[in-house]
Amino acid sequence: MTAPRLILASGSEIRVKILKDAGLVFDIARPSTDEAAIKTRMLREGADPESIAAALAEAKALSPRAPGALVIGSDQILEYEGRLFDKPASRREAAERLRELRGRTHSLINAVAVAENGRIVFRHLDRPRLTMRALADEEIDRYLDAAGEGVLASVGAYQVENLGARLFARIEGDHFAVLGLSLFPLLGFLRERGIGGF
C-alpha cells in the first residue's frame, strides 16, 4: 500500500521545523483562509476559544485542494482571563503583552486537523498552561532587544524554543503544542495511515 502524499497547510517556520525534525516528508501549501473573519464571526456567536482554534485548524486543512493527500492544518490561540490574543503587530504591542502576562498563568490552545478529499479525518486539541516569571520592565526590554523581530511571529510575543524559554517559571503540557503543533497525536494518526513509522 502506497502512503498518501502529506501537505502542511501553514506558513509557520516552527511547524515546518517540527515536522522535518520528526523525519516526515511533506509539501507546504499556504492556506487561503481568512482567519480574522472566522474568528470575528465565531466570537460574535459566543464560541469558546477551543472551538475557534479547532475551526481555524480545520479551515486551514480544507484550504488546499489536493485529492488523495493528507493535509495538516493547525492553529494556536493564546487565552488569558477569558480574552483571546492575536500576534502583536509591533514591538510596543509585544512589550505590552509581556507586561500583561508576567507573573501570571495563561493558556495556549493548539488545535490540529487533517483533511482528506475535502473532509476532516483527524482532530486533536491541546491546552498547555504557561506561567511567566514576574519580569521587571527592564528584563522585558532586554529580552525584546535580544530576540528581535521574531517575537512578532508568536501570539505571546515569546518563542519558547529560543530565548523565550528564559521568561517562564513553569510550563505544563505538551512541549510541541506550546510550539504550535501537537506532534505525538498527529504522528500516531499518520502511522495508522502508513506515514512516519519504522
pTM of the entire predicted model: 0.92
Q: pLDDT category, 1, cuts 50, 70, 90?
A: low
Question: What domains are there in the chain, each with its CATH number?
Answer: 6-192 (3.90.950.10)
State mean pLDDT over 49-68.
Answer: 94
Say if CB 192 and CB 185 are below 8 A apart: no
| 83 three-class SS | strand
pLDDT-derived band at 158, boundaries 50, 70, 90: very high
Of 21, 34, 75, 137, the catalytic one is: 75
pLDDT tops 90 at residue 198: no
Is 75 catalytic? The answer is: yes
Q: Is residue 129 a contact partner of residue 107, using CB atoms and an 8 Å limit?
A: yes
Non-local CB neighbours of 107 within 8 Å, separated by 6+ positions: 49, 78, 79, 80, 127, 128, 129, 130
